Chain A
Amino acid sequence: MPRRATDSEFLDLLEPQRGALFRIADAYASNREARDDLTQEIVLQLWRAFANYDRDRPFAAWMKRIALNVAISWVRRAYRQARVAPAGQAIFELAADPRPDHSDEMAQLRAAIARLGELERALLLLHLDDHPHDEIAGILGLSTTNVATRLHRIKQRLRQHWRDPDETAP
């Protein structure tokens, strides 16, 4: 029987994951407004699923599974609703807006991520966040071999693209 969750318990668990959640929303949304909307969707869905969250399992992996599911659904089928957050306010606020960094490398990486399909994007995001292959496999529902093979191919394509950006598309 799922126990009743409290707002503060949920937000306490969410707070350390704010960067990871923000990066997922940032990877699937095309602009700041869309990112805020997607963040809201993800947080709402996390909250609704939180009653069934098994406290013995790591929160980060559970959170990322739901966040990626919502983000992919959001991109694919416009899984959206009207904004419910107060006007002009976002769940996550950047102290140094608009981006905490402007490096060329990050811009290149962002562009590369944006060029990938939704599923490969999820795979790369989890890899960049240092999840081991078996954990990525569990989150995405793939075999560990498949994860390793696909990551290898994504890296290969990215390298090829950086060598010759006009000739290849990741």
Chain B
Amino acid sequence: MNFDDLKRSWNAHAQSLDTTLQLNRTTATAVLHARAATMLTRLRGWLWGEVAALAALLVWLGSFVVREWGHWPLAASALALHLGCVALMIAAIRQLHMLAGVDHSAPVVRLQRQLEQVAVVRIRTTCGAIVFGVLLWLPALAVALRDMLGADLYSVPDEGVRNWVLANLAFGVIVLLVARWAARRWGGRLDNQSLAGRALRSLGGQELEVARASLRELAEFADEDRAA
């Protein structure tokens, strides 16, 4: 067996396909006109949704900070949330900008690198959003209670309420640490098709490792010195 024999077999296979393979134009036309969203189209839609929601949150939090400026615990809480939202907004806009440059007719190595770079930013943003959600839920609660009910969580004299709040914050941190540990340990077995599976694999670092490995592979593949 040698490569030339196989090349001959391949050519014969190609010729045989040309005679036995038919293009079903009816099915093809149905596919062309189907309203199907690719993964990238869905991601773009999701990111625009994120940007719109974050913009609304930023306006709301900004006006809250101005209103409560004299009351520093509430203003500081809203400011922390504001900064978190700004970071998420920057990450979403960065991903949209990166996706705008994605062209499927670009050379394979370049396009695959672009897609993996988007994946890295996306994974880091998911991790950041999870940590942000767990650590800042208390300021979020304080701001929401103030805005909707006029109540000030920080001035509640009841020790029981304060202890409940602190216990919940501690519980959130513990849940985050346990989830990260469990995701690191068992994340490899999780399904990466579901949203929850991907979020846990992102938290556990498996998703980032896969994307980094792909980027390394692409760099090595394009590196002439390594090919030699």
Residue contact B224 to A146, C-beta cutoff 8 Å: yes
Identify the stretch in B34-42, B89-97, B155-163 within 8 Å (CB) of chain A at 4 or more residues: B34-42
Q: Which of B5, B38, B108 contacts A72 (CB 8 A)?
A: B108
Residue contact B22 to A92, C-beta cutoff 8 Å: yes
Q: Roughly how many angstroms separate A150 CA and B227 CA in the complex, as a whole number?
A: 6
Residue contact B16 to A100, C-beta cutoff 8 Å: yes
Q: Roughly how many angstroms separate A159 CA and B6 CA in the complex, as a whole number?
A: 11
Within 8 Å CB of A89, what residues of B?
A: 24, 26-27
Q: Which of B6, B18, B22, B224 contacts A143 (CB 8 A)?
A: B224
Residue contact A82 to B36, C-beta cutoff 8 Å: yes
Residue contact B228 to A149, C-beta cutoff 8 Å: yes
Give the secondary structure class of B's interface: helix
Give, as a whole number of angstroms, the nearest-CB distance from B207 to chain A: 10
Interface membership of chain A positions 110-124, coded 1 if the CB is closer than 8 angstroms to chain B and 0 otherwise: 001000010110100
Within 8 Å CB of B228, what residues of A?
A: 149
Q: Roughly how many angstroms separate A159 CA and B68 CA in the complex, as a whole number?
A: 75
With A11-B25, A40-B31, A92-B24 known as contacts, the answer to whether A100 contacts B36 (CB < 8 A) is no
Residue contact A77 to B193, C-beta cutoff 8 Å: no
Those of A56-77 within 8 Å (CB) of chain B: 62, 65-66, 68-70, 72-73, 76-77
**Cβ-based interface call for A1 (8 A):** no
**Cβ-based interface call for B192 (8 A):** yes
Residue contact B3 to A92, C-beta cutoff 8 Å: no
Within 8 Å CB of A77, what residues of B?
A: 39, 115, 119
Residues of A with Cβ closer than 8 Å to B?
7, 10-11, 14-15, 18-20, 22-23, 40-41, 43-45, 47-49, 52-53, 62, 65-66, 68-70, 72-73, 76-82, 84-86, 89-96, 100-101, 103, 105-106, 108-109, 112, 117, 119-120, 122, 128-130, 138-143, 145-146, 149-150, 153, 155, 158-159, 162
With A43-B28, A66-B104, A86-B30 known, 15 other A-B pairs at CB within 8 A are A11-B28, A19-B14, A43-B32, A44-B38, A45-B38, A53-B105, A73-B111, A76-B214, A90-B24, A91-B23, A91-B31, A100-B16, A109-B10, A119-B221, A142-B221
Residues of B with Cβ closer than 8 Å to A?
1-3, 5-7, 9-14, 16-34, 36-40, 103-112, 115, 119, 192-193, 214, 217-218, 221-224, 227-228
